[in-house]
Amino acid sequence: MMRIAISTEGNEVFPHFGRCPAFTVVEVADGKVVGRGVIPNPGHQPGFIPRFLHEKGVRLIIAGGMGARATALFEELGMEAILGVGGNVDDVIDRFLSGSLTGGPSLCQPGAGKGYGVEKAVCDHGHAGDPDAEPCHHGPVALKTGKMKIAVTAEGVTLDSAVDPRFGRCRYFIIVDTDTMSFEAVDNAGTDASGGAGIQAGQLVASRGAKAVLTGNVGPNAFQTLQTGGIAIYTGVSGTVREAVEGFKKGLYQATGGPTAASKAGMK
């Protein structure tokens, strides 16, 4: 039998291992779920949660992201982790049982999270390892404009396409190099998803190396995913993708400090 812990909020995979409200613990034997329960996050202390879960018999962790310290501790304890995972917990469990669950880039960069239940007045780091990121007070991630990749939600596949006001359910992401204005259009697979679209979209943006997102509105799950990944969020953006990028380069936008739309607000 194998015992698995999934970082969760409600019935969605939470993007940050240490900051999740709870862990869904699943017992698997002979390719089937034989037990399932929820353990509240006991609170973050250095090195505590890995040992806490190890004592509970957990041998595999599934999460959106995890810091380097936690990763090292799990390795020391002989535990495995699958990172870069998002979406509905039941779907994730089904994919694990079928052998189709694959990991991706961790959404949590070293120093990007403060730990669930731990208050810290001032960050002593930049976000996502970006030397151009300014220190923050756990408010919106603030970036100095300059050479970087940014993601713009778009209704089409060119710089002259209109900005899509939805983040998680936008039709495309235009990933733009602000130095050269070269770009690529990326299909958003979560456009018609029944749930977890914001988390999946956040993971997609992170995997493309974007340091900032320009969009109309962002929901709570997407906001948390992007913040955890150290990605700055700018909402209330309209016009064309080209105009949005030029406005960003001129410093016309301010980083968003919280969600601007309700969960699943972008569903048709």
Distance, CA of 40 to chain centre: 20
Region of residue 225 (left: phi > 0; alpha: psi -120 to 50; beta: else): alpha
Dihedral over alpha carbons 105, 111, 112, 113 (to 10 degrees): 110
In this predicted structure, which of 69-73, 173-177, 181-185, 235-239 has the lowest mean pLDDT?
Answer: 69-73
- The reply to whether 2-98 and 127-249 are identical in fold is yes
Strand partners, 25: 5, 37
Report pLDDT digits (tens) over 169-225. 999 999 999 999 999 999 998 787 767 788 889 888 988 889 999 999 998 888 888
**Distance in angstroms (rounded) separating the CA atoms of residues 109 and 100:** 25
Residues contacting residue 250 through CB under 8 Å, at least 6 positions apart: 145
Could you tell me whether strands 2-9 and 22-29 are parallel, antiparallel, or unpaired per DSSP bridges?
antiparallel
Supply the pLDDT for residue 34.
Answer: 94
Cβ atoms of 5 and 61 within 8 Å: the answer is: yes
Supply the pLDDT for residue 186.
Answer: 95
Supply the pLDDT for residue 114.
Answer: 38
**Distance in angstroms (rounded) separating the CA atoms of residues 88 and 196:** 6
Supply the pLDDT for residue 46.
Answer: 65
What is the CATH T-level fold of the domain 2-98, as seen in this structure? Nucleotidyltransferase; domain 5 (3.30.420)
In the predicted model, is pLDDT for residue 235 greater than 50? Answer: yes
Phi, psi of 225, deg, nearest 5:
-60, -45
Supply the pLDDT for residue 142.
Answer: 47
Q: Which of 59, 10, 62, 75 is nearest to 38 (CA)?
A: 10
3-state secondary structure of 96: helix
Structural domain boundaries in the chain: 2-98, 127-249
CA dist 165 to 182, 203, 215, Å? 22, 19, 6
Supply the pLDDT for residue 143.
Answer: 52
Dihedral over alpha carbons 70, 71, 72, 74 (to 10 degrees): 80
Average pLDDT, the chain: 81
| Residue, of 141 and 154, whose pLDDT is higher | 154
Q: Helix H segments across the chain?
A: 48-55, 68-76, 89-98, 197-207, 220-228, 241-249
Residues contacting residue 243 through CB under 8 Å, at least 6 positions apart: none
**Stated length of the chain:** 268
CA dist 66 to 127, 155, 178, 211, Å? 14, 33, 29, 18
What is the CATH T-level fold of the domain 127-249, as seen in this structure? Nucleotidyltransferase; domain 5 (3.30.420)
**Distance in angstroms (rounded) separating the CA atoms of residues 21 and 41:** 5
Structure tokens at 183: 């770009």
